Amino acid sequence: MQKILLIATLFIGFIGSSTAAPREWMSVDSSSTKFELNNMRFSNRARCALDSKVPTDSAFLLVTNTDVAKAVYRLAKLRGEDTNTLTKYGIEVFRYSVVQMIQLIHEKIMNRELPLLSADTTNDDLHIPAEYKNVMLSCKNDEYCSGLDDYIAKLWKIGSRKVPAATKVVNFYDVDNFHSKDSYILEKNFKKHQYNTELKCHYLKKFSPLQAHLYGTKPDKAALESIARAALDSSTFLAECNDVEAQKNLQVAAYQLEITNLHDRRWKKKGFDYWNSVKLYFSWAFRNAPEMKQIASPFASVFKGVAVEDAVMIVPNGCKSITAPKCDGDYLAQQAMREFAKEDFRENALDLDVLSSVPEGPQDDLLADPFTSVNIDELDLGGFANAESWLANFRENFAGTRALMKKKLIHAVSTLNIAKAKLDPKKVTDLLEKRFSVLINSVGTTSPELDQLKNELYYLCAEYSFADHNEFSFLKGKLKLLRETTLIDGLAGEISVEKTKVLFDYYSKIADKVMSGCAALDQKQIWNDSFTLDKTGFSTWYISKVYESKFKSTLKEKNLEYLKTNKPLIAWKAYADTAALEDVICTNASDCSRNILKSIVDLYSVTQYAATFWSMQQEINTPALFNPYAERTACKVYDPWYKTKSVLFNLFSDMSQAALSVAAPGMIYGRFDLKPGQVVSFNQLVKDGRISYDTNYERTRVTTSLVADFGPLLGVPCAVSLSRTNFNPYDSYRFAGISVGACHSNEDNNLNVRTASDIDPNASTTHSECIACKLNFETVTNSLVHLSTDVGPTFFLFRAVFRLYKGLKDPHNIPRSWEANPNFISETYRRFGEIPKRCVRSLRKGKRCLANSCETNVAEAITDKLKGVIEKMYAPKNGTATVKLSTCNKEIKLRTNSRNNTNGCRIGKIKVPVSCSSIIKE
Amino acid sequence: MKNLLLSIILFSISSLSSAYTVESSWNDKYEKELSFYCSSEDTMCLDLCGEATMCKVKEETCHNCIGTSITLTYIFNYMGKAYTNTGVETLDGEVLSSLKGSEFVSFSSRSIYNHVDRFNSSSLKRNFRSLCTDGTRYPIVLFKKNRGSQRVADVQFVFCDNGVFEMEFGADVIINMEENKTLF
């Protein structure tokens, strides 16, 4: 009986839920529907990686006021005005100016009053205006480019003329051959709001389910309902961009920008150009546009001086990008900014490469963590009470680290310039000889002073050996790169008398002298058995690199002790009055030599992440903060299509491996310093000893070698497994993850290294080809296991089937995405009081879900033709539908007609009350 | 009122030692300007803008001066150390051409461009004051401005109460090659 009751209850419950949709729409006030948002795109790992190549239509504009606030505060002090009032006012005007200028540029671009400036000037297949191309090519990344400013000034002047847009298009063509077809977002139409592509701006109070795509992947019913509730309570999370009262935090402000009604195909083609144009025009216009006088009044003159690229950042809202990802140092360094957003940044700061004394560089992170997670609140948005405190934490960490880097850079440049000007290398040698002669002449004797000198000499020789030894120094090659870069000259040219090249040559001469001096020493006599090294006297950078910072450096204390009884070798004049250590350049010859080396190491470390901290180009930073796969895809560390292709490919290759594995495979491994596109002789590599062949394959040894070889990103590591067949020992053979094949005989055994993870659909066809050196880090570990000589054909056959099964179920590595429109989700929720299960699927596809096709069609027609959000609706299958829109206080009517035997519902002409005629879209 | 009184006192003190005094300020439109107050025997104001006793020269805000650029940080940290007074008096003609060309940037310890230290901090005051031997309270240092980039370029001269002097950029350091075991 109980059973029957239960079933009956369930049945009633089922009936109840299927008819639970209330007839009346949920009653909400107009503030609940005032924010219209773009689609939210939920992506898994592989789709997120792919999306990085697509331009975003939604972004966060992050504005920092610290510099502006400081300046206006000082201005108030200087003028005797109320500091609080003026500072607050200055911040408000600054934020307003940033948002307004971006809006103005957007309008000008959309109205064809400014042409698009191509993001990729190297692609010969695109039409790029010749002068623009020349200007961009002549602009070095690390130097101010006056040509670009002049060029933009010219375009802006045309764009501001009081003539029709069509005339401007002709003028742009005359000036620099801007084609009307290629150089604008809107094609061949001069109607102002062809797609009504406005730039919506919302002030972000709190991160909420409205940014759910940053927290998770596939949205379920519960997720959709929380999005709906957040959308209805949107005024808690969002505000109008010009709502000054809502913007409480005086340091930072975050805005959500959304471009609406874009033509999809056109946007995919031109989106990156759009963002590139916004960045370039903004940097110029904020300082130079005549419109700024009015927009930034009364602070226009002050704001002209703001380093606006340091104060403003635009980051994509999700996996899509603002800048097309590239595998280069600058792009990678910019992505390193994610670290600063982490809640636990301070706890982990010392372990971060960016703060390391000798950083490995931004590429290191890709290799250390190639399969990092994505869309699981990687930036700890949920860890902060509101968006402002998240941003404040981010900017504080960022600015603090930048200040450290700046200090390092200034100190290094200053020390090297002074040393170069005052101590020639010959003089350094003489002084070193003089300093250590006592030591050399008194071999066999001991005293505390001599022990101190022995230590000092040891530090000098050890530190220089570490950085400059021809065979053992891993650092020497890296430091040499400094000589070739103009990065430091661009950054610190104004404070350096000498160019980096000259400073590096000076260091090299000193290093040669020190190294030859150290080599000539009778080391066993000086550092004999009775000598105990005081490790704490090494420089901090050396302790960090060699002793992993296990103890603190006492170099500073030792120098202070030295200065109690000695004059410093070089000091600022102020030292005569202050006797402060900060006014000492270096205490003695050995300290000066070590300081010169330290300065070079510091310059090297600054260059590694320079692009993270300084915008060297005249454009604002736009890192893909929420997509760590942007750089992983660009650098081919992660191939989003790999899994899809490999699922089928593995089935085939495992079958063939099953046959091949009858012969015990040996192993070749090695590191090729090859760049994509380069062709080198495989035989030559073997001959040069750059490849080792190990028949007694030991897994641990190979693992170590491979891991070590993954160091520099562009030194593509390859492993080759030999099948030892009679016809061609280098015949193609592949296994998952890493594969190298050699060419067939007619290609003369050349290796054609293309990109790291291109996958050929079929590697063992007999046609003549050079197979690329390929790697995919994800499967490296697996591959090593599979290389074991013990595994036989059965294993490979089993793996083939298992892989196919597993591969097709992979939730991360087969690209998947879901689109959800927060306005539609909110609409469904208001219609039913919940998100019905049957609606989850269509809402996840970005579609509407209402009670029936008549309601859906009426909603489509109304929102297509009229402005506003549907607050409630009554739509019978046959009859007069009435709709209440947020923008009109009267009901809007239209006829509906559906035949019983079809799903279709025809709708008639929309009747808009005369008093609401302004809501009709243009 | 206090400021006005201070200005009057400053003006009267400075006019004893130099023919004109210079003041850097921001006007009611929040635009930067250099104000010259000339005594009857000096022609600077007349040469600059045709007025006998007072002249205001507009100073366009330099690009990237409001921020924490490496150059700005260096200027405020190393004023008096790397940027020093040569002691050579600058000719009026040079000062005039620099001011008339409008390609200059002025700094003092009360500059709004200082984001390195507190506004008019004592260490900043000390560094700037070390540029003038006559105890000028607020020496004003003039830098060139790059015509293209509108950013700060080379240091030019310093306005002290007892004259205008050429500045130099370099290492004003003490060297003790002998590594003597004696203190200063």
**Domain assignment of residue A570, yes or no:** yes
* pLDDT tens profile A495-516: 888 999 999 999 999 999 998 8
Of the spans A236-240, A440-444, A695-699, A816-820, which averages the highest pLDDT? Answer: A236-240
**Domain assignment of residue A576, yes or no:** yes
Confidence of residue A665 (pLDDT cuts 50, 70, 90): very low
Alpha-carbon distance A593 to A583, whole Å?
18
Confidence of residue A672 (pLDDT cuts 50, 70, 90): very low
Which residues does chain A have within 8 Å of residue B150's beta carbon, measured at their own beta carbons?
Answer: 287
Alpha-carbon distance A881 to A893, whole Å?
6
Say whether both A841 and A798 belong to one domain: no
Residue A818: per-residue pLDDT = 86
Among B180, B175, B83, which residue's Cα sits nearest to residue A585? B175
Which of residues A809, A839, A856 is at a domain's end? Answer: A809
Strand, coil or helix: what is A896? strand
Among A608, A594, A350, which residue's Cα sits nearest to residue A457? A594
Better pLDDT: A614 or A792: A614
Residue A913: per-residue pLDDT = 87
Mean local confidence (pLDDT), A140-148: 77
Say whether both A159 and A105 belong to one domain: yes
* Overall residue count recorded for chain B in this entry: 184
Confidence of residue A363 (pLDDT cuts 50, 70, 90): low
Alpha-carbon torsion (A411, B130, B61, B144), positive or negative:
negative
Residue A196: per-residue pLDDT = 65
Say whether both A532 and A655 belong to one domain: no
Mean local confidence (pLDDT), A819-841: 91
Alpha-carbon distance A778 to A506, whole Å?
44
State whether B113 and A588 contact (CB < 8 Å).
Answer: no
Phi, psi for residue A245 in degrees, rounded to 5: -65, -30
Cα B75 from chain centre? 12
Residues of chain B with pLDDT under 70: 1-18, 178-184
Nearest to A299 among B30, B80, B113 (CB): B30
Residue B133: per-residue pLDDT = 92
**Domain assignment of residue A631, yes or no:** no
Q: Is A810 left (phi over 0), alpha (psi -120 to 50) or beta?
A: beta
Which residues does chain A have within 8 Å of residue B62's beta carbon, measured at their own beta carbons?
Answer: 305
Better pLDDT: A416 or A698: A416
Confidence of residue A312 (pLDDT cuts 50, 70, 90): very high
Residue A747 above 60 pLDDT? no
**Domain assignment of residue A373, yes or no:** no
Residue A720: per-residue pLDDT = 35
Residue B90: per-residue pLDDT = 92
Interface A:B, Cβ pairs < 8 A: 163
Percent of chain A with pLDDT over 70: 70
Which residues lie below 8 Å from residue A250, measured CB to CB, with a gap of 6+?
A: A65, A69, A87, A88, A91
Alpha-carbon distance A227 to A219, whole Å?
10
Mean local confidence (pLDDT), A438-460: 82
A699: containing domain: 641-809
**Domain assignment of residue A225, yes or no:** no
* pLDDT tens profile A701-744: 333 333 333 222 222 333 333 333 333 333 322 222 233 333 33
Alpha-carbon torsion (A727, A729, A735, A737), positive or negative:
negative
The structure tokens 């080759």 sit at A720
DSSP A63: E
**Domain assignment of residue A350, yes or no:** no
Give whole-number Cα distances, A886 to A258, A812, A868, in Å: 21, 41, 5
Residue A268: per-residue pLDDT = 92
Say whether both A789 and A824 belong to one domain: no
Residue A853: per-residue pLDDT = 84
Which residues does chain A have within 8 Å of residue B173's beta carbon, measured at their own beta carbons?
Answer: 418, 422, 570-573, 585
Mean local confidence (pLDDT), A237-256: 88
Say whether both A62 and A145 belong to one domain: yes
Say whether both A792 and A828 belong to one domain: no
Count of domains forming chain A = 4
Say whether both A557 and A689 belong to one domain: no
Chain A interface disruption, residue of B110, B156, B177, most A CBs within 10 A? B177
* pLDDT tens profile A467-488: 887 655 667 777 887 887 777 8
| Predicted complex: ipTM over 0.90 | no
Confidence of residue A377 (pLDDT cuts 50, 70, 90): low
Among A458, A381, A757, A418, which residue's Cα sits nearest to residue A583? A418
* pTM of the full structure: 0.77
Which of residues A775, A809, A843 is at a domain's end? Answer: A809
Which of residues A316, A333, A355 is at a domain's end? Answer: A316
- Angle at the Cα of A695 (from A656 to A739), degrees rounded to 5? 40
Mean local confidence (pLDDT), A662-675: 34
Confidence of residue A689 (pLDDT cuts 50, 70, 90): very low
Residue A679 above 50 pLDDT? no
Confidence of residue A296 (pLDDT cuts 50, 70, 90): very high
Say whether both A551 and A677 belong to one domain: no
Residue A735: per-residue pLDDT = 28
- Angle at the Cα of A685 (from A681 to A687), degrees rounded to 5? 110
DSSP A122-161: S-TTS---HHHHHHHHH--TTS--HHHHHHHHHHHHHHTS
Say whether both A541 and A479 belong to one domain: yes
Q: What integer best gives the mean pLDDT of chain A?
A: 74
* pLDDT tens profile A53-85: 999 999 999 998 889 999 999 999 999 999 999
Residue A416 above 70 pLDDT? yes
Chain B nearest C-alpha distance from A492 (Å): 7
Better pLDDT: A908 or A10: A908
State whether B25 and A78 contact (CB < 8 Å).
Answer: yes
B-chain residue closest to A66, CA distance: B67
Nearest to A494 among B31, B71, B148 (CB): B71
Better pLDDT: A690 or A114: A114
Alpha-carbon distance A655 to A80, whole Å?
84
Better pLDDT: A535 or A642: A535
Which residues does chain B have within 8 Å of residue A310's beta carbon, measured at their own beta carbons?
Answer: 67-68
* pLDDT tens profile A541-595: 888 877 778 889 999 999 999 999 999 999 998 898 889 998 999 999 999 999 9
Confidence of residue A139 (pLDDT cuts 50, 70, 90): confident
Phi, psi for residue A256 in degrees, rounded to 5: -105, 120
Outline where A710-792 has alpha helix (H).
780-786
* pLDDT tens profile A378-411: 666 666 667 777 888 888 888 888 888 889 999 9
Among A144-148, A683-687, A858-862, the minimum mean pLDDT is found in A683-687
Say whether both A490 and A596 belong to one domain: yes
Chain A nearest C-alpha distance from B115 (Å): 7
Mean local confidence (pLDDT), A5-32: 50
Residue A922: per-residue pLDDT = 66
Residue A2: per-residue pLDDT = 42
Better pLDDT: A872 or A746: A872
**Domain assignment of residue A236, yes or no:** no
Nearest to B181 among A70, A566, A572 (CB): A566
In a 13 Å sphere around the CA of A258, the CA atoms on its Cβ side amount to 18
Residue A465: per-residue pLDDT = 83
Residue A336 above 70 pLDDT? yes
- Angle at the Cα of B94 (from B91 to B97), degrees rounded to 5? 150
Alpha-carbon distance A575 to A580, whole Å?
6
Say whether both A827 and A794 belong to one domain: no
Which residues does chain B have within 8 Å of residue A68's beta carbon, measured at their own beta carbons?
Answer: 66
Here the tokens at position A774 are: 């390929």
* pLDDT tens profile A181-213: 888 887 655 454 445 678 999 998 888 888 888
Task: Confirm if A51 and A268 have CB atoms less than 8 A apart.
Answer: no
DSSP A243: -
